[in-house]
Structure 1
Amino acid sequence: MAKNNFLAFCHVLQSVYCRLFLIGKTHRIAFVSLLSLLPLVANAEALSLQQAVDKAVSQDDWLVSSQQKENAIRVLSQGMTALPDPKINVGLLNMPTDSFDFNQEAMTQFNVSVSQMFPAGDTLRLAGEKYAAQGDQMPLMRDNRRAMLAMEVSNLWLTAYSYEESIKLVKQNRTLFEQLHEVVESSYSSAYGRAKQQDLVRSELELIKLDHRLTQLRQAKENSLQKLSQYILPVMTDGNVSDQDITLKTTGEPILITSSNTLASDSLAARLSQHPLVRIVDVQSNTAQIDKAIAEQKYKPEWGVTLGYGYRGDDLSGKDRADLASIAVSVSVPIFSSRRQDAQVKAASLQVESFFSEKQLVLNELMAKYRVLTSDIRLLDQRIRLYQTKLLPSYRESAQAMLNAYTSNDGVFSDVVQARIATLNAHIELLTIRIERFKRLAELNYVMTQGEEVKLK
């Protein structure tokens, strides 16, 4: 009777596995919408993965620092267009040293002059544009940072989620082994039972091994949650990390989706050209072109204007002397410095060309990453289908056959245990493959940042 109850329990457990891992339809949804089905609970507040990403972004100190740096650069760009400060000279000229009498000599005067320099060409305007271009990098760097945070938080979330689901699977199988242990124990204690002592010892050993496996999974899960906490839990003002806890709570199940078709090379290049890393190189190239233009301005002369006023006293007979006014214009003649200027212009030109090569390098890396990820997703989909359509049914049939043989006294207990452990491992392997697929999607979302959402079917 006990064996029949145990057999019925196995059928129920198998139906639970079937509902848990077999999905009927596929859906075209974005990755973020998919992962929002998996909520995170921190401080008794349910947080979806997208909310966890938003929280990590909202309290990221690097983003705050980047914004402050951009503000500083913007302020500097406004000040760089101003002319240099004028210089005021005040002097007493041609004072006679025999008497130090201000009125003795006609050339003695009290002089005040103002000098103003004008930088060569459009140097001031270009300097302001250079700082503005440097400031344009900051928003793109923040976009890249947000995308990286989303990918990192997603990976940590999914790692913790995989351990959480593995714990559930092991617990379900432990319940199964407890039922099996009760059957073996009842059969062994019965006078008519055919269970052997080694069967009882083996069932107890498997329970202990499952407990150890649960402990390992809990430890791995806690480690993942601690890593995740650095992004979504605030740091206390005294420098100590907050003692708040993060708890995973899963509702529903991940929806199985397949990857989209690979984009054509032209479409892919156009889409990847909007990635923050590529656009940062574009801004750096613009900055280098401005540096080249500034270097070319040095071929043009710098101008200076000096205005002076000289006050003279009366002569020795008391006759009034006229005051003196002067104006002077100075200009630099870039003759002897042409070699240095040629080198600066050449270096700036080479720097511009280097950024063109760097942009192509970044694009090639992103394209290669895209192709690797889409290939991985496609192959992971094949593995998932293989597990769902062939491997898992075969494992279940094998486990059922071993159980039927044992319940009809035509099998050995070790075969039942091995078949059940193999079935558990197969379910965990399928879970691992699915999680790896989600992680590839998280990386693909980073690669496709600044474009449309990755379409999945």
Structure 2
Amino acid sequence: MKPLQTLFLSSLLLGWSIAASAQSLTLSQAESLALQRDAEIARLQQLSLASEDMAVADGQLPDPSLSLGVLNLPTDSFATDQEPMTQFRVGLGQKFPAGDTLALTRRRGEQNAVAQRWMAQDRAHQVRREVRLAWLESLYWKQAQNVYRQDEGLFQQLQEVTQSLYSVGRSKQQDVLRADLELSQLNDRLINARQKEDEARARLARWVGPEAISRELNAALPDLNAPHVGALESALLAHPAVKALDAEVSVSATNAALAQQSYKPSWGVDVGYAWRDGENMDGSARADFFSAAVSVQLPLFTGQRQDRRVAAAARNQEASRSRRLEMLRMMDAEAQVAFSRWRQAQDRGRLYKEQITPQALSQADSALTSYQSDRADFAEVMRAYLTVQKLRLEQLRIDIDGRAALARLDYFFASESPIDSLSFKE
């Protein structure tokens, strides 16, 4: 095997086989940290618990009303026994909402809680996807630095070769200056890659926290198997984002049923007891009074109130269905794009591994041999070496992009909950 090919293969294996130290942060650890510290997941969990509490509360009858009063008290003496109609009254009243209003209101609260739980699950899958993408981007720039550092030794060797040949008059001073320039530009690319890694680490820290910056990242990547695209339809129907919209459609249907209840009368019951002071003309004590009444709210004029509410509820229900349909179409399109990118990355990766990179390595070795034999100029050697460097970086990028496509695709096939182990915060 030629020397440049040997160096390339060994450096590639070294780049993707970084040993995991005790202080390194694994991807699974990063995902757990991100899920635990994500404020949006906690917010949705609390909203779900709040909706459950409100569902129970809203399903209860209104509080009864208690009334206390003095009736028909004469203003000339304010004596309680002067007039026979003077009385001390205590009353108790209870309202009963129309039809099935209470049961439907409770059902709506429970459906809201279900929607928020599904939204929390969807948010957790989004967080895991974003952590993986930021992780992969950080690793790419880390590996790019490895490529530049490994090429630094090659470029230093080329610099020594040009100086050696120049000292015996077999090369031009321009070749020496070109070697110096390329080494300086390589250092510049290394600095730029380091900056890109810092930026990617900062984006990862947005999810993981300071652990993403203070600890070395473990290069071990998860085994993500590409799901079959034929199972996409059933996977999307079971996706948490779609399930949340299913719950919202149920909420809108319940709202429509609630609007129908406004055509039914609401009821009220009042009972009272009145105590009277004084005596009748025959000397007997005046009798106390008991009263009972039923009140009914009659929905007689429905054209501008009940009818409008029912129409509005029906339109909101149709809007919820349309939103769900649009979400399914959008997710299907995004999943198809991710699947296509993964397949293209697979094809390009094989092409680079089996043809393009070996051919470039052979060309670089041939160019160097020709230069040392005075059969090629130094510019051709540098072009060959820079081409190899570019192809190595492109091969790394293809591998990272393929894994990123799988991370995106995994989001659409979200069959398990990333937050099952995270308890709801009471």
TM-score (structure 1 length as normaliser): 0.84
Distance 1:436 1:243 in 2: 21
Shift of 1:279: 0.7
Tell whether the 8 Å contact from 1:39 to 1:248 is kept in structure 2 after alignment.
no
Match of 1:290 among 254, 268, 285: 254
Percent of paired sites with the same residue: 33
Shift of 1:244: 5.9
Shift of 1:308: 0.9
Tell whether the 8 Å contact from 1:39 to 1:47 is kept in structure 2 after alignment.
no
Tell whether the 8 Å contact from 1:39 to 1:48 is kept in structure 2 after alignment.
no
Per the alignment, do residues 65 and 40 of structure 1 end up closer, same or farther by CA in structure 2, a change over 3 Å counting?
farther
Within-5 A mapping of 1:63-78:
63-78=41-56
Match of 2:391 among 382, 402, 426: 426
Match of 1:11 among 2, 23, 35: 2
- Partner residue, 1:311: 275
Per the alignment, do residues 301 and 182 of structure 1 end up closer, same or farther by CA in structure 2, a change over 3 Å counting?
same
> Partner amino acid for 1:275?
H
Shift of 1:319: 3.1
Within-5 A mapping of 1:210-249:
210-233=186-209, 245-249=214-218
Residue 110 of structure 1 aligns to a residue in which SS?
strand
Shift of 1:94: 1.6
> Partner amino acid for 1:184?
T
Within-5 A mapping of 1:54-453:
54-190=32-168, 193-233=169-209, 245-250=214-219, 259=226, 261-263=228-230, 267-315=231-279, 318-337=283-302, 339-450=304-415
Per the alignment, do residues 262 and 50 of structure 1 end up closer, same or farther by CA in structure 2, a change over 3 Å counting?
same
> Partner amino acid for 1:250?
A
Shift of 1:282: 0.5
Tell whether the 8 Å contact from 1:95 to 1:102 is kept in structure 2 after alignment.
yes
Per the alignment, do residues 429 and 302 of structure 1 end up closer, same or farther by CA in structure 2, a change over 3 Å counting?
same
5+ residue gaps, structure 1, are: 1-9, 23-34, 235-241
Shift of 1:100: 2.7
> Partner amino acid for 2:8?
Y
Distance 2:100 2:181 in 1: 84
Is 1:48 the counterpart of 2:26? The answer is yes
Distance 1:261 1:315 in 2: 94
Shift of 1:315: 2.8
Distance 1:40 1:52 in 2: 14
Distance 2:18 2:415 in 1: 25
Distance 1:71 1:259 in 2: 36
Tell whether the 8 Å contact from 2:201 to 2:212 is kept in structure 1 after alignment.
no
Distance 2:417 2:61 in 1: 46
Identify the range of structure 1 (132-141 vs 315-324) with the bigger mean alpha-carbon deviation: 315-324
Distance 1:226 1:40 in 2: 21
Per the alignment, do residues 136 and 273 of structure 1 end up closer, same or farther by CA in structure 2, a change over 3 Å counting?
same
Distance 1:202 1:404 in 2: 18
Distance 1:304 1:89 in 2: 15
Tell whether the 8 Å contact from 2:131 to 2:204 is kept in structure 1 after alignment.
yes
> Partner amino acid for 2:205?
S
Shift of 1:243: 11
- Partner residue, 2:424: none
Distance 2:344 2:278 in 1: 102
Distance 1:321 1:402 in 2: 125
Tell whether the 8 Å contact from 2:27 to 2:218 is kept in structure 1 after alignment.
no
Shift of 1:175: 0.3
Tell whether the 8 Å contact from 1:271 to 1:451 is kept in structure 2 after alignment.
no
Distance 1:260 1:303 in 2: 58
Distance 2:232 2:158 in 1: 56
Shift of 1:12: 3.5
Residue 88 of structure 1 aligns to a residue in which SS?
strand
Distance 2:413 2:217 in 1: 28
Distance 1:49 1:100 in 2: 84
Q: Please list the CA deviations of residues 276-330 of structure 1 after superposition, one character each: whole Å capped at 9, or x if unmatched.
A: 1111110001111111111111111111111111111123765311111111111
TM-score (structure 2 length as normaliser): 0.90
Distance 2:276 2:54 in 1: 44
Distance 1:345 1:295 in 2: 5
Distance 2:141 2:26 in 1: 17
Residue 216 of structure 2 aligns to a residue in which SS?
strand
Residue 117 of structure 1 aligns to a residue in which SS?
strand
Tell whether the 8 Å contact from 1:83 to 1:124 is kept in structure 2 after alignment.
yes
Shift of 1:397: 1.7
Distance 1:306 1:249 in 2: 73
Distance 1:38 1:400 in 2: 28
Aligned length: 415
Shift of 1:57: 0.7
Distance 1:348 1:68 in 2: 27
> Partner amino acid for 1:350?
R
Residue 84 of structure 1 aligns to a residue in which SS?
coil
5+ residue gaps, structure 2, are: 419-426
Distance 2:93 2:227 in 1: 69
Tell whether the 8 Å contact from 2:25 to 2:218 is kept in structure 1 after alignment.
no
Residue 221 of structure 1 aligns to a residue in which SS?
helix
Per the alignment, do residues 368 and 425 of structure 1 end up closer, same or farther by CA in structure 2, a change over 3 Å counting?
same
Shift of 1:138: 1.8
